[in-house]
Structure 1
């Protein structure tokens, strides 16, 4: 079972992290504005904090993707461990902001999704998945069938967790 979770993590984590970086590059400045609106980081440090977060996502996502493609267990464990720490920090930060500042934007992946408990939950779920990948490493003992299931499940997890916070927004009509 841990091999399946590690396989899912090996696929889902790089996809989510690199997808986030792509969204940030596509809509530069959204994260800086969101960090300022969240009111946790001093305004002067919002830009450097946003750049640091994006750089960390890019580094971890690229190392994870390369480790998956090249079959590098040590690099996958390191990337997964770093992702677990990064996403765990995101979960704590998002939970704090969601509790203390209603209606502020998340800035996640350059989107205008509001910061809610669903954002914190997504980060926490990804952190747990990353922890499984860090502990288990790349599963080399999977059959071709099991590897295809892990790959497909990894894609599914990435899509579900990517869209979860936005899908859980309740829009009210003005009428």
Structure 2
């Protein structure tokens, strides 16, 4: 991207007031998921009761920049950069499918800090129980710059080894002839 193109984008997106412009812009969305992932990467069902649904605000990478080189980065580094989705965790009411025994099993097998929140009965006819837990939500778009892979030094030593093998073979042939 040329300097002139960058300035045009800055003027278009920053507006007349000159608001800051992101290298990896985001879209703010309100979502109503049916389920989510916990910090232990377990899928959990979220509380829903008729019209009462949980809503979360998420900051998602704009589709035109996700996994693409970051904007406004020096040309020399542009191909090493990319816009990546960031995540965080937020409270949610989740179905408590197995009760206390399952929580104890989960804690024992994963050896991780487990936060136990009090459970409560939902308004549904089945009387299922829900508890607070953390679920993963999209929280922004970030620019990552990867270092160039280092060139292996072993390539420079290979010709020397080849020469020494050649010399050994030549020496063996000379010894055989004498």
TM-score normalized by structure 1?
0.26
Bigger radius of gyration among the two: 2
The structure richer in strand per residue is: 2
The structure richer in helix per residue is: 1
TM-score normalized by structure 2?
0.26
